[in-house]
Structure formats: structure tokens, C-alpha cells
């Protein structure tokens, strides 16, 4: 499980603002607008209880505080409980939380205790980053490249297939590539025989996963992957429209999916 570090989350509000302006440039919508079109739900100021969890590797510095900033940025009424774990959950419900946000080392969930809906961060992240990529106003074809077909990448690839794109996918894990080809009907991308794309979605925990040969001028790279999939040098050389943010875009996708 690739865990966030406090350093990934420094000044999350500025990171959200920067990501929002790229999303607007790429899709014509802001992040909230993409969520509304994805889930058909509208903005809400619902009370969100953020519960720190000490299990496993324990509390991650800046994590709960960042979730608080994220809920406020997107217009929800968030609060972080004083206590963690079971006591924190009890405190959140006692203080009127309608949605609970909490994460251990394996699962980051949003649970709407009023309507029973529950969301998992991994598919919600893949779906929204794929949706942003698919809405690139200047895309010159329906071809899209997906790098990484794991817990975030596979649901993102499924979203792109569902929206009628011609999805080329790659993962060095042959089992996962085979699963995506047989379950989603994607085209296995051959790194030895690359082609250029204007839309790329990446979801891997590795740097430099995007070969220069697939980059076209002004292409969109939509990636939740940490560290970033592309070097600053390549990003500048091709003027890549990079949509990348460590926590907030995936979280607001979870929140809108449980409204
Ligand atoms: N920004 C955000 O909001 C979020 C970011 N993440 C990050 O997204 C990344 C992916 O997370 P998961 O899908 O849960 O991990 P995962 O381990 O389930 O999947 C990652 C996949 O990438 C593949 N991969 C590795 N190198 C590759 C390469 N060169 N080309 C293509 N595929 C390659 C691996 O074989 C693996 O199947 C992690 O870095 C995680 O921290 C996860 C959730 C939210
Ligand atoms: N238990 C800790 C939070 C652990 C979160 C681990 N999961 C990740 O880092 C995932 C979530 C999005 C990106 N990576 C706390 O409450 O402070
Ligand atoms: Mg994110």
C-alpha cells in the first residue's frame, strides 16, 4: 500500500487551487463540475466527520488536517474529531456527522450514515482522473493510454471504456494486463511499438512511467500517481497539461459519490 507522507500534503489548499485551474483549462469545468457530471449529484454542505485512525503505520501528519481543508474547499462542513479510532467515530456521530471519512493503511472510505452509501478512495480516484482526461477539449482522437492497471488504474480504464474511448493499457504485471484485456477489452500497449497520444491516464507508484515516444504537444496527463509519472523536463518540452494532486480530487469524488 503506497502511503502518503506529510511532505506530499504541504499546503494542500494551494495544490488544490493549482489542480483546479488545470482541470478548468483542460475540460472547461472545475473539479466540482466534473464531480456533478460524473455522479449527477449537486453541491452539498453536509457535515463530514473526519476520524483519525491509529492502526497499522498510524496517524500520517497533515492527513486529517488536509481532509479538513479539502472538505471546506469543496463547500462541505468538515470537522476533525479530537479522539481517534472508535472514540473518534462515536464523537463524529454524536456531533452530527452525516458522512464519515476515515482511512487505515489499506482502505480510505466515505460512509454516508444517512443514506447508507459508501465509497472507496481507490476506484473513486481512478474514475475521476479518467473522467478529467476523457473531457480534454482539445483531444484529437478517441485513443487514450492507461499506464497502471491496479486498484486505481483498472476502475479508471473501465470508466474510459464505458465512455467509448479506444483504450490502450499497459502494466508490467502480466496478470493485471491480461485481466484488463479480458474483462474490459482494452488493447495491450506495446512499449516497444509506441504511438503518440493526446490523452494519457497514469496510476502507478513509480516515476518516469511515461515514455517520451507517447507524448504529443499539449497532451493531457491525468495522474494521481505518486511520485509524478513525468519529469519536469519532459513536461515542459511537450507543454504537457498535467492534472496531479495528492488527495483532494480523489476525496471529493468519494464525497459526491455518496450524496
Ligand atoms: N492522488 C490521489 O488522490 C491518490 C493517489 N494514489 C496513488 O496512486 C498510485 C496507484 O495506486 P494503486 O492503484 O492503489 O496501486 P497498485 O499497486 O494497486 O497499482 C499500481 C500498478 O502500477 C503498475 N506499474 C508499476 N510500474 C509501471 C509502469 N512503468 N508502467 C505501467 N504500470 C506500472 C504496477 O504493476 C501496479 O499494477 C499510488 O502511487 C498511490 O499512492 C492512490 C489513491 C489516491
Ligand atoms: N490512518 C491515517 C491515514 C492513513 C492513510 C493511508 N492511505 C493513503 O495514504 C492513501 C489515501 C489516498 C492516497 N493514499 C490517519 O488517520 O492519519
Ligand atoms: Mg487526488
The average pLDDT across 235-257 equals 98
| CATH number of residue 134's parent domain | 3.40.50.720
- Chain segment 110-138, per-residue pLDDT in tens: 999 999 999 999 999 999 999 999 999 99
Number of domains in the chain: 2
Q: What is the pLDDT of residue 1?
A: 59
Is 105 inside a domain boundary?
Answer: yes
Predicted complex ipTM: 0.99
Confidence class of residue 64 from pLDDT cuts 50, 70 and 90? very high
| 8 A C-beta contact, residue 234 and residue 219 | no
Q: Which helix (H) or strand (E) holds 13?
A: helix 12-27
The average pLDDT across 9-16 equals 98
Task: Return the ligand 2 atom nearest residue 250 CA.
Answer: 12
Cα of 106 from ligand 1 centre, angstroms: 13
Task: Specify the residue with its C-alpha closest to ligand 1, atom 35.
Answer: 173
- What's the Cα-to-Cα distance from 40 to each of 33, 43, 240, 255, 257, rounded to whole Å? 10, 10, 30, 12, 9
For the chain, what is the mean pLDDT?
Answer: 98
Same domain, 111 and 170: no
Cα of 3 from ligand 2 centre, angstroms: 6
Is 1 inside a domain boundary?
Answer: no
Q: What is the pLDDT of residue 2?
A: 85
Same domain, 86 and 127: no
| CATH number of residue 40's parent domain | 3.40.50.12150
Q: What is the pLDDT of residue 140?
A: 86
* CB-CB neighbours of 66 under 10 Å: 26
Q: Which of 250, 210, 241, 195 is nearest to 12 (CA)?
A: 250
- Chain segment 71-99, per-residue pLDDT in tens: 999 999 999 999 999 999 999 999 999 99
Same domain, 99 and 133: no
Same domain, 109 and 128: no
Cα of 124 from ligand 2 centre, angstroms: 15
5: left (phi over 0), alpha (psi -120 to 50) or beta: beta
The average pLDDT across 44-51 equals 97
Same domain, 56 and 169: no
**Percent of the chain scoring above 70 in pLDDT:** 100
Cα of 63 from ligand 2 centre, angstroms: 7
Task: Specify the residue with its C-alpha closest to ligand 2, atom 11.
Answer: 108
Amino acid at each position: 500500500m503506497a502511503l502518503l507522507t506529510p511532505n506530499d500534503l504541504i499546503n494542500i489548499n494551494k495544490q488544490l487551487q493549482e489542480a483546479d485551474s488545470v482541470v478548468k483549462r483542460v475540460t472547461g469545468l472545475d473539479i466540482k463540475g466534473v464531480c456533478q457530471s460524473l455522479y449527477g449529484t449537486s453541491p452539498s454542505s453536509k457535515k463530514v466527520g473526519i476520524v483519525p485512525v491509529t492502526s497499522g503505520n498510524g496517524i500520517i501528519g497533515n492527513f486529517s488536517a488536509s481532509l479538513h481543508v479539502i472538505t471546506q474547499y469543496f463547500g462541505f462542513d468538515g470537522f476533525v474529531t479530537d479522539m481517534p479510532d472508535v472514540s473518534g467515530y462515536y464523537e463524529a456521530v454524536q456531533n452530527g456527522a452525516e458522512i464519515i471519512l476515515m482511512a487505515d493503511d489499506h482502505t480510505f472510505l466515505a460512509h454516508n450514515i444517512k443514506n447508507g452509501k459508501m465509497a472507496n478512495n481507490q476506484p473513486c480516484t481512478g474514475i475521476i482522473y479518467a473522467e478529467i482526461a476523457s473531457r480534454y477539449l482539445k483531444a484529437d482522437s478517441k485513443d487514450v493510454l492507461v499506464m497502471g492497471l491496479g486498484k486505481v488504474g483498472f476502475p479508471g480504464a473501465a470508466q474510459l471504456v464505458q465512455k467509448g474511448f479506444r483504450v490502450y493499457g499497459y502494466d508490467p504485471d502480466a496478470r493485471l494486463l491480461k485481466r484488463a484485456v479480458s474483462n474490459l477489452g482494452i488493447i495491450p500497449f506495446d512499449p516497444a511499438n509506441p504511438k503518440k497520444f493526446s490523452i494519457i491516464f497514469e496510476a502507478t507508484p513509480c516515476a518516469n512511467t511515461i515514455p517520451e515516444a507517447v507524448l504529443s504537444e499539449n497532451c493531457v496527463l491525468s495522474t494521481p500517481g505518486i511520485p509524478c509519472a513525468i519529469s519536469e523536463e519532459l513536461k515542459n518540452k511537450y507543454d504537457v497539461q498535467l492534472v496531479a494532486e495528492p488527495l483532494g480530487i480523489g476525496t471529493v469524488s468519494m464525497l459526491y459519490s455518496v450524496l
